[in-house]
A and B are shown apart, each in its own frame.
Chain A
């Protein structure tokens, strides 16, 4: 058990005992190696179940909007989760007074797909040891450098430290490199239009419309999504080129100025479809056009909600 897990259990037990929160959302060990499960802890004794390591894949902030209204929630936040919480509070999806944020500086999420590609499906055990990940399979032991098997979004992560947390456990980490973060967007932009379209079609056509990306996303909380509308039918609901492309375009576009770049959509996708190149582009544009970054401030509204008459000199040909 690592030190961080111990600190999280202690803090969770304390806030439950002192009746500061009704539930603590965190992670517990999963049934399978390489995968942890989200856990909802309501009693002090259960806090022993909590753990935290690089195999915690979900963005816990996505559960905030599904909890009953008025419930006081303690939530374990990494950098991206804390920014998602901030954006949700800004959109009046939760009261900040009813939240208790346990901040954890994040060293990145390990992508189980990258490991599975190397060692096959017979993983028996996986543990982190410092900068190494040790995976035991039936054929023996495999060692990976942690930095090599991190999820793509985590390799590009800009802000690993939680923002606006009530308590931070662990030491702050250095901020990410913007050049590296935006490199995929700029590379994609440099391609020819037909190449870009071919890439997009190749990704979108694999989509099976399971909407796991929507469920995993902390910012997708609409009671009725545009794809579920039947009158009018905004996009074809079947696995047609038109339907899947519309889903990918509009899902990403609804995240403009709201996406926290956590990559939960990509990790949730059963078809391994790349999606962050879409949302990253929109985030990049929002930074370039309006100097906006998600979760950077507690008051600033996202650009699409904060239009002013100062815009009048833009866009006019």
Chain B
């Protein structure tokens, strides 16, 4: 029997659109006085529940702004859901997404150690895997260049290499493969298949149906924050196409 590694129960994520614009104390009080603080509410994720078993690979599909990334962030523990509960039994690799999670002033070398430490790995462990990370990302020449000088493709490579080397229980990949060149996409693909074979659970967001079908068995279709269909990849895509076409 396989266990649930991720359990999501009736998760809501509510954003307060007006509140987010309050940047200064003065504005805050002006709004407070006018009673305009909790202004318009927006549900990015609404009443979503599902379980993911260990070793499964699950894709989140849906149109832009349907809540995919928000849901990933909730699972990764970056965002707290407004209501409902999320439990993850295992370690999660840093969210791999476009744009960086690096300290731009530091070099790739330093960022590798920093990111490793974020996951709770000390220097010895990272020393052992340093070479592997650099080789995979093919950034040998640029190890000591501050990350701020990297291109977006290079940053994505580095992020992917780090997150996949530390062998976390759950890997969360948010549309990263869109930036890499074809060869690197192939490499990432292979690496993810390897990890899956080794028992890692994969959460994958992509707009490429081809990639999703190659990697994932299950899919969850989100629309305006609601889960419209959960189940086998092909069936969910069929429902998705029927609704959008």
B partners with A: no
Which residues of A are in contact with B by a Cβ distance under 8 Å?
Answer: none
Which residues of B are in contact with A by a Cβ distance under 8 Å?
Answer: none
